[in-house]
Structure 1
Amino acid sequence: MKKIKATALFCTTLLGISISSCKKDYVPQTDLAYDVVVDGATASFKVTTKGVTGYKWDFGDGTTSTDAAPTHTYPGKGKYVPTLVASVNGKTTESSTVLRIAKTSPVKINDNSLADWDAVTKDVLPLGSKKGIFRAVKMDYDGNYIYVYGEIAAKKSDGTIFDFYIDSDNNPGTGLATGTFTDGGYDILLEGQLFVAGVDIFYHNGATQQAFSFAQQSIADAYTVGTVKEEGGILKFEMRIARGKLKGLTGSGARFGIQVTKSDWSVGLGSAPDDGGPSYFLDMSE
């Protein structure tokens, strides 16, 4: 995740005294400064002024702390104004700054756990009569990645073939416009035995939008399979797709449709959402 460092340095005042501006001939009795390092939704605060005691932090989201150098995780995207009230060389002083927290995801792809997906409740793909072996599909995203969670009634050793149809620019005027899923023009196809040999990456290159024609790409680190677990006949898995690696995925939204097929291509095993209907729109405008 991208880390952002900010420094809060203010012309400060004794509490109860109002000063509308820092005039050139005014020498403040106390200065209170601190650095803030933001990593995702977590901010780490460090006071740089000497002689400070009696720390009282208000993080701007209804929570507080009296630690000298606190670390605080914000509840989500938004603008927050953390404020510190403290004593500097015996004089009570206040300083504030503005933090903007970007969209983050609770998903950790390499923690050998799927429990973090319990916190993902917004983007749950609808499963209908054609779901087949699908039992659940969720999605999430942040500035760098799109995350996918799935449950299918299968085993890793089955070699199930996955097809991920992606309308990466959310533009029905580009990409494959006919076929499995409606409401999109599918620019990208990820296809293969996800748990055995991985998937290949294809970009649509048909002369028309009705031509099912995709050219294979060689793109390193475009996707990563995370934790995979087999429990009670259900195969649970997670993966992430690098938004900056595949064309069009850095925009404000994309459409997704997923199909699974038997390892010898003989039988279609399911679809999420139902094939023949609209794909799922992942709104990434936050």
Structure 2
Amino acid sequence: MKRNLIYIIAWWLIIITAAACKKDKDNGSLKSVFSYVADGFKVTFTNFSSGAKTYHWDFNDKPGDSSSLKSPQHIFSRKGDFLVSLTATNGAQTDIFTDTVSILGPNIKIDGDFTDWEYVEYLHTNSEDFGGNIRAIKSFATAQDINFLVEGTTAMKLDMIDMYIDADNNPATGYIVGDYPGGSGMDYLLEGPATSPSWGSGYEHLGAPADWSFNAVFSFDTDMHFSAVKTVSGKNIIEFSIKKSALGSIKGAINFALVELDAGWSPVGRIPENGNPEAKFIQLQL
């Protein structure tokens, strides 16, 4: 009888131990892991986690950018490296997987197909009460070029432009542009027709900030590339690029303004706005 009792107790101990092991195994099966595919700024994440019931993604992009979807998409705001984390949860248990997501940005081509700008954020948009043909601008820099997309009213033609560029990111050097008292420092003046760039030129400023003294250093047809102006959804759009090498030793950022001129060389559009003491060039981080 005692021997049978010992067998029964031993059998129950085996069952209890096996159940405990199974439970431990189930708890240990929670695993968080993901992969991703980047297409410009848009990233598609694939969740390979196991044993999870809920998920939390932290994209480490803009404050509050997160998701609870199993396999989300996210539009990153800029190029760079982002430390993305996925927290997988099952009850009181969590497991976190973190990986660096590298965003190179879109493959911009100056070809009149503006779809490659879809996820590039506007660098500047003029206020509604500011008139003129030019309304908004986007920009994206690569290792070789600085690309721009300009949106305007259907009156925007850009048959003649002046583009002011502070290439050294120092408003105290270069020509002081009176329309932008809050900060200018024009190191380069780009002047000519965007629609027929064969005779447009880039001029480098010489002398003191108040001196109107410039020397031609490059031409539109060798160091710039323009698409045609096209009407899309009730607004005119053009894209163009400037070779970085044409602007000397640029550092970190440039500042700029763009002006459309009519046949009499009078401004009919500009970005950014002028007309107030704080008006200054737009800054583009490179």
Question: Which of 52, 63, 68 is matched with 2:67 structurally?
Answer: 63
**In 1, Cα distance between the equivalents of 2:76 and 2:119?**
16
Matches within 5 A, 1:72-151: 72-77=73-78, 79=82, 81-83=84-86, 85=88, 94-99=95-100, 110=111, 112-113=113-114, 120=121, 123-125=124-126, 134-144=132-142, 145-151=146-152
Q: Tell which structure's C-alpha radius of gyration is larger.
A: 2
Q: Does 1:238 align with 2:242?
A: no
Q: Does 1:191 align with 2:182?
A: no
Larger deviation: 190-199 or 216-225?
Answer: 216-225
**In 1, Cα distance between the equivalents of 2:114 and 2:268?**
25
1:96 to 1:268, Cα distance in 2 relative to 1, 3 A? same
Query: What does residue 174 of structure 2 align with?
Result: 175
Q: Return the letter of the residue paired with 1:137.
A: R
1:62 to 1:271, Cα distance in 2 relative to 1, 3 A? closer
Give the C-alpha shift of residue 64 in structure 1.
Answer: 4.2
**In 2, Cα distance between the equivalents of 1:184 and 1:240?**
22
Q: Return the letter of the residue paired with 2:206.
A: G
1:149 to 1:14, Cα distance in 2 relative to 1, 3 A? farther
1:30 to 1:220, Cα distance in 2 relative to 1, 3 A? farther
**In 2, Cα distance between the equivalents of 1:177 and 1:165?**
10
Give the C-alpha shift of residue 82 in structure 1.
Answer: 3.1
Q: Secondary structure at the match of 2:226?
A: strand
1:105–1:140 contact (8 Å) kept in structure 2? no
**Alignment length, in residue pairs?**
244
The CA RMSD over aligned residues, in Å, is 5.0
1:170–1:255 contact (8 Å) kept in structure 2? no
For structure 2, list consecutive stretches of 5 or more residues without a partner in the other structure. Answer: 1-23, 59-64
1:128–1:274 contact (8 Å) kept in structure 2? no
- Scaled by the length of structure 2, what TM-score is found? 0.59
For structure 1, list consecutive stretches of 5 or more residues without a partner in the other structure. Answer: 1-12, 18-28
1:108–1:116 contact (8 Å) kept in structure 2? no
In the TM superposition, what whole-angstrom CA distance separates every residue of 1:114-161 from its partner, at most 9, and x where no partner exists? 8967985661135888x5xx33331233443452413256475xx821
Q: Does 1:254 align with 2:255?
A: yes
